[in-house]
Amino acid sequence: MSTKLAWNWQSARLHEGRLIFDSPDGIKQAFKDGFFYVEQPLDLTLDTADQFARSWYLPEDSEAPDRFRGFSRLTGDKLDPPAAWLGYTDHKADQSEQFLLERAWWEGVYPHEMTVQAGALCDFTLGILRAVLPNLDLPLELWDKATGGCSSSRGYYALLFNHYRPQIRARGLAIHQDTGWLSVVRSTEPGLEVDRNGEWYPIDPVPGKFIVNFGVLMEILTRKTSTPVVARPHRVVEQPETESGKSDRASYVFFTDNSFDERVCSGIYEYEPGAGLIYVKPVIEFYSEYLHNTFDPEGSGHY
């Protein structure tokens, strides 16, 4: 597959609970594209998260104390409570190393100001999700059940920090689709590419804007409706090492997913007009399949 030079990605701003797109059919096109831009609100400052993104993977230094360093030692088994899929991960086949925390772990792991920052990113991302839902062919009374509690603040919310090491000769990050409803990406350097029917299109950072992409749960829910949403496979290409001393690529992503609590979420659903919500499979089974397809060497990279 070759890389295309450009695509006209849609752009929007969140205003009083609504997504206002630059073009009249922006939301419909975004559903087809699987990605779009959204403006950073004036009251959402990112200084803390940006600093954490540049520091978390660095070793602790007693001569220059920095509470944002040293987090690569926190693998999932060292968290309280332990969680195998959270904490630090070094993807051996990729340039990326990652640090992932779900909301329940923020307060016990992050410095206080980072916990506050994560909460603000959560509120913003949920605002985008709630602004998307009225544009779907899905009755209001089904939103909570359909999203596994996510739209009503009872879901699974995780913040992932990526660090790409250009000194490692490998792909940046494997081809994958995101799991949940939508993800909000903060990046300041190019490298992210989107697969549109066998051709790769870059979606580069735009100052003052986030990149938003739809996940597999959104695709499953809407695939039989009049407003199907596409969860596009995407990747990060190999980051080159330069003589100019370019800093390592860093980014972070906020994810929204179904609750893992069976009292809140009874499973994964698709919606069929006239028939209602149709049960697809248990949440744990879905995520087990996703992890295999995405990260196992024999996995397809697609759900």
- 191-250, pLDDT tens digit by residue? 999 999 889 999 999 999 999 999 999 999 999 999 999 999 999 998 887 666 566 789
Instruction: With respect to residue 253, please indicate whether it lies within any of the assigned structural domains.
Output: yes
Instruction: With respect to residue 220, please indicate whether it lies within any of the assigned structural domains.
Output: yes
Instruction: With respect to residue 6, please indicate whether it lies within any of the assigned structural domains.
Output: no
Is residue 190 within 8 A of residue 204, CB to CB? The reply is: yes
Instruction: With respect to residue 1, please indicate whether it lies within any of the assigned structural domains.
Output: no
- Reported residue count of the chain is 303
Structurally, the chain folds into a number of domains equal to 1
Instruction: With respect to residue 164, please indicate whether it lies within any of the assigned structural domains.
Output: yes
Instruction: With respect to residue 27, please indicate whether it lies within any of the assigned structural domains.
Output: yes
Tell me the C-alpha distance between 267 and 62, whole Å: 48
Tell me the C-alpha distance between 9 and 175, whole Å: 20
225: domain CATH number is 2.60.120.330
**How would residue 300 be classed by pLDDT, with cut points 50, 70 and 90?**
low
Instruction: With respect to residue 110, please indicate whether it lies within any of the assigned structural domains.
Output: yes
Task: Work out whether the CA dihedral 127, 131, 137, 139 comes out positive or negative.
Answer: positive
The predicted structure's pLDDT at residue 84? 84
Record the tokens describing residue 5, joined without a space.
């030079």
- 13-27, pLDDT tens digit by residue? 999 999 999 999 999
**How would residue 91 be classed by pLDDT, with cut points 50, 70 and 90?**
confident
Q: Which residue has the tokens 């149709």?
A: 278
Range of the domain at 201: 11-238+246-295
The predicted structure's pLDDT at residue 302? 57
Q: Which of 7, 25, 30 is nearest to 203 (CA)?
A: 7
- The total of other beta-carbon atoms located within 10 Å of residue 109's CB is 17
Instruction: With respect to residue 300, please indicate whether it lies within any of the assigned structural domains.
Output: no
